[in-house]
Amino acid sequence: MEKPKIAIVGGGVAGSTAGLYLSQLGLDITLFEQGESLVSGPPFCHLHAGGNLYREISDEQCITLLQQSIDLLRYYPYAIDYRPTVIA
């Protein structure tokens, strides 16, 4: 039986992650992205949003969001955008 061929349009966080997981299942994946790089959208972790989000979420939610950000960057280590942030 021939493997199904899957086309994914968009190489942002969602498209790239879907392609990664589906390819790990042995499926034939083609990813189409109009930009120059993959995973180039807005930041996944919004904790840096001027410090405003810190006041609106619980410590547990903050830790969960941080862990999700770390997990995402393990899949896409070259997508890190180094920006120093100071929260006063």
**pTM value > 0.75:** no
CA atoms within 13 A on the CB side of 44: 22
Q: What is the pLDDT along the chain (88 residues), one digit of tens a residue?
A: 788 899 999 888 788 888 888 988 999 999 998 887 776 655 555 555 555 566 677 888 878 877 877 787 787 777 666 555 545 4
What's the farthest any 2 CA atoms get from each other in the chain? 60
Cα-trace Rg, the chain: 16
**Claim to verify: residue 31 and residue 59 sit in the same structural domain:** no
| Domain total in the chain | 2
**Claim to verify: residue 54 and residue 71 sit in the same structural domain:** yes
pLDDT at position 45: 54
**Claim to verify: residue 84 and residue 60 sit in the same structural domain:** yes
Domain hosting residue 49, numbered range: 44-88
pLDDT at position 29: 93
Residues 63, 60: Cα–Cα separation, whole Å: 5
pLDDT at position 11: 85
**Claim to verify: residue 7 and residue 30 sit in the same structural domain:** yes
